[in-house]
Amino acid sequence: MPSWGEEIRRRLTGLRLAPAREAEVVEELSQHLEDRYRELCLSGVDEARAIRDSLAELDDSDLVREMAAVERDYAIEPLAIGGGAPAGSARILAGFWHDVRFGARLLMKDKSVTVVVVVTLALAIAANTIVFGLTELLWLRPVPVANAQRLVAIFASDERSITSRDPLSIPQYRDVVRQAAVFDSVAAMVGRQFSLTGADEPQPVIAVLATANFFTTLGLDPVLGRLFLPGEDAAGRSNVAVLSHRFWSARFHADQDVLGRTLILNGTPHTVVGVLTPSIELGSLSVVDVWIPLDTASSTTRQRDRDIAVYGLLRSGQTVVSANADLTAITQRLRKDYPVTDGHLQIHALSMRDANVSPDTPLLLTMAGIVVGLVLMLACANVGTVMQARASARQREIALRLALGATRVRLVRQLISEGAFLGVLAGLVGVALAAAAVPGLRMLTSDPYTQTLDINGTALSFAAVLSIVTPILFGVVPALQSSRPNLNEDLKETARIGPSRRLHHRRSALVVTQVAFALTVLIISGLVVRSVFARGRVPLGIASNDVLCVRVRLDPPKYVADESRVRAVDAMLARVAALPGVDAAAATARVPVFDPEPQRQFTIVGRPPAGDVPWAVEATMTPRFREAMKLPLLDGRSFNDDDRETGARVALISREAGKRYWPGRSPIGQRITLLNGAGESADAPITIVGVVDDVKGISVTEPAPPRVYVPLAQRVSESVVVVVRTSRDTSLMAALIRSALRGEDADLALSEIRPLDAMLDTRLFQPFHLVVALFVGFATIGLVLALTGVYGVAAFSVGQRKHEISIRLALGATSTEVTRLVVARSFRPIAIGLALGAAGGWAAASLMRGLLFGTTVLDPSIYITVIGVLAVGGLAASLVPARRAAAADPAFVLKQE
């Protein structure tokens, strides 16, 4: 008897049927031929004839054509039972598509399961994509200058300083330029506010003064004209200006003829020679209006004017490490040469990547990464539970298929294809969620650079990788497990009264994992959020509510002598104080907490120098400043109108300064001499007349620094901040104050008038709005996933044990007993998960010790709260299915079985 199948398959070759369909057609047609052959044989026909006649059934020139017409788009019956994967790449691919289509159809049938799985994974993918996007933007993306790879930022640090990234002074910059061997060039810049006059109303502009080699060091190009020429930063040659692209577009409407125009900056004319590329307009550089040359030859004050940012271009072959070795050697020499001013100096270099973010940012991003990583694992565990529940429901089907000869590879491939389908779907939804969240997140930050956050190609690739990896995390393991079932056990499953011990352990492990991961996420998020809120509760030492601030510039040529500036300030304050609704009007050089303030060293008259030179933050104030800021006087007297430039030189000090330098005694009447930048006592001694309460410095997480206040009249500067306490509506008052100031001098360059509250919020808290939003979001997702996960496992496990529970109920167990039994079974894995999670939280919190403020690694209130929430939530989640099981009618359930 011939092989009918082969004969038929040969004739159908041209049709290129899908393997499963071909197998089906061949089987059906073979049977027909077989029947025909047997019948012919039985009727006495000889075998040769019987074969010939049977095969003649296939002889029809129309067979292939007819079949082709019919078979086009033929819907294949799902998954033929048994058989291995067909050979040949085309068939493997066809098999793959078949699997995906079959999986998709199966999942669409189970819509609620699919929605749960996709939403769960999508949330985790969205959270990960957002954190990746932030990390890429803030930390990984190179700065947009040509020499980014060889560029380092050079900072000074001082062991007594509150930050470790202080700028340098110009003499220190000159020392680095002269002595460093590792750099091709070293450039410096400093930002200043200027008043631009000449056209309409005087306008404050942000100028950056930069050395002539600044643009070549960074590798920046002009879009119009030229940048600075070598030597153009020398005194007398520096009257040129380069416009920022933004300023050129806004103020000059991108006019090509701007070259050669004159800008009057602080009364000095500057000729526009070029326009800088817009690529540099990021972060703080995005507000720069104009670039002018920085003369580094003349300044001699080593300490007072430490405000320039320095960049070095590494010679080829040099690294940040070798640069730091070189800078340490230079520092040693400077400490020896200038013991008073540079005795505690350390100059060091950071790569541009590290310099561009605050020191906390990499750690914060790492913690965010850990948190979203855990959320992803949590989501995978959740989905794993769902998939396992489905796999268990199909256990008998799978066992049957294996028994009938289906290969493991074939089954695993089927399960993985289902996972891949879910992963891709979740990836798409996740990216959409992340893209939808980004505009909201951008609104939460005031940092112009962070506001450029976007789901770009890199973030999309990351999301794509996650979509592929997550199905492997949650799909392959259950797939491998369910494809290696114990056939005997699984086929007999219904005969038993409960799930196997193996299944029970696997499920408990899932609950342990979910609870542990969720607790770790909650602890990290709780500590981060608590740290941020603790910053908000720090007493600053000043009352910022109902206070308006406006910065005023008293620049040449109108204001040259200190006397003219003091007179102008007095007159302005008199006008403002006369406005209705003004409670107090005062002036200072810098707004405490908001502005960086200079530190001054001083000597105490009558006390021989011993050890470290005393230092304090130097601040200035007019008599009513204390009243405007509600700064309490603790001892002595405050400044009054007699403390003028011609009067006796007096000072107030802060409580911290008194405690530090006059411990156990009153500093009133003591005299100090402020030292100049070179460490010499140039000024006349100052008498301390009073002590005021502490006020924080620029970093609110550090203790309040010692402060020395001198009367503004005795140390006036070109830039003064007018501070007004008012009991009236601040927006109305702002207009009145502006016109009062303009009434004194119509050409005055004024900044925007802003409430101090808002200014401090921008500086102190707004950077953390995004952090709080992210961590609260992650913690919420983590909690919801964990609770739904525990619920899912409990419900599944109750479902599997309904037979057992019914027997218990039928034998007289009360529903309370059954509920207790089910909840008790969930309790053990939840408790283990909580213990592991607390340990994980502690380990993660130890990593971020540097970020914590106002809380500790083992903050009991955080641990107790989140453990309580998770324990109660977890037990409640297992209670729901337990009660449902206890309420079931045992007779009905047992009959169903």
Interface positions with other proteins (CB under 8 A): 24-25, 27-29, 31-33, 35-36, 56-60, 62-63, 66-67, 69-71, 74
Pull the structure tokens for residue 71: 């078979």
- DSSP character string of 84-147: -PPSSHHHHHHHHHHHHHHHHHHHHHTHHHHHHHHHHHHHHHHHHHHHHHHHIIIIISPPSSTT
Least separation in angstroms between residue 18's CB and other proteins is 14
Cβ closer to other proteins: 10 or 849? 10
- Measured from the CB atom, the residue of 74 and 97 that comes closer to other proteins is 74
Nearest distance from C-beta of residue 35 to other proteins, angstroms: 4
Burial state string for 603-625 with b = 16 or more CB within 10 A and e = fewer than 16: bbeeeeeeeebbbbbbbbbbbbb
Nearer to other proteins, 60 or 889 (CB): 60
Residue 84 Cβ vs other proteins, minimum distance, rounded to whole Å: 19
Pair of tokens at residue 357: 């973010």
The answer for residues whose C-beta is within 8 angstroms of residue 288's C-beta and 6 or more apart is 191, 206, 207, 208, 244, 246, 247, 281
- Among residues 376, 293, 331, 32, the alpha carbon closest in space to that of 175 is found at 331
> Count of alpha carbons within 13 Å of 183, Cβ hemisphere only?
29
Sign, CA dihedral 331-332-333-334, equals: positive
Least Å from the CB of residue 52 to other proteins: 13
Tell me the DSSP string of 300-319.
Answer: --SSTT--BEEEEEEPTT--
Q: Which is nearer to other proteins, 24 or 718 (CB)?
A: 24
- The minimum distance between CB 776 and other proteins, in angstroms, equals 55
Q: How far is the CB of 1 from other proteins (least distance, A)?
A: 15
> What would the two tokens of residue 241 be?
């200006």
3-state secondary structure of 157: strand
Q: Which two tokens stand for residue 182?
A: 């590792």
- Considering the complex, what minimum distance in angstroms separates the CB of residue 440 from other proteins? 51
Decide whether 1 or 633 has the Cβ nearer to other proteins.
1
Shortest CB 77 distance to other proteins, Å: 8
Among candidates 862, 776, 765, which has minimal Cα distance to 368? 776
Least gap, CB of 30 to other proteins (angstroms)? 10
> Which residues does 888 contact at the CB level (< 8 Å), separation at least 6?
802, 805, 806, 809
Q: Which lies closer to other proteins via its Cβ, residue 67 or residue 893?
A: 67
State in angstroms the smallest separation of the CB of 54 from other proteins.
9
**Least distance in Å: CB of 789 to other proteins?**
41
The CB-of-415 to other proteins minimum distance in angstroms stands at 24
Contacts of range 386-390, beta carbons closer than 8 Å, 24 or more positions apart: 386/113, 386/116, 386/117, 386/792, 387/117, 387/418, 387/419, 387/474, 387/475, 387/478, 388/478, 388/482, 388/506, 388/507, 388/510, 388/796, 389/792, 389/796, 390/110, 390/113
Nearer to other proteins by C-beta: 64 or 831?
64
Which residue carries 């797939």 as its tokens? Answer: 479
Report the alpha-carbon distance of residue 309 to residue 155 in Å, rounded: 7
Spell out a b/e string for 317-329, using b for 16 or more CB atoms within 10 Å of the CB, else e: ebebeebbebbee
Nearer to other proteins by Cβ, of 54 and 819: the residue is 54
Residue 294 structure tokens: 């920085």
In this complex, which beta carbon is closest to other proteins, that of residue 63 or of residue 340?
Answer: 63
Q: How far apart are CA 420 and CA 837, in angstroms?
A: 30
Nearer to other proteins, 63 or 113 (CB): 63
User: 750 near 550, Cβ under 8 Å?
Assistant: yes
Minimal distance in Å, beta carbon 477 to other proteins?
Answer: 34
Nearer to other proteins, 67 or 888 (CB): 67
Closest distance between other proteins and the C-beta of residue 26, in Å?
Answer: 11
**CA 264, CA 247: separation in Å to the nearest integer?**
15
In degrees, rounded to 5, the angle at the alpha carbon of residue 653 between the alpha carbons of residues 651 and 658 is: 135
Residue 509 CA to residue 495 CA, distance in Å, equals 26
User: Which is nearer to other proteins, 20 or 760 (by Cβ)?
Assistant: 20
Q: Which is nearer to other proteins, 12 or 386 (CB)?
A: 12
Query: For residues 11 and 246, which CB has a smaller minimum distance to other proteins in the complex?
Result: 11
Whole-Å CA distances, 356 to 29, 33, 193 = 74, 80, 22
Select 82 or 596, whichever has its Cβ closest to other proteins.
82
Least Cβ distance, residue 109 to other proteins (angstroms)? 19
Count CB atoms within 10 A of the CB of residue 534.
Answer: 15
Tokens for 339, please give them. 């013991």
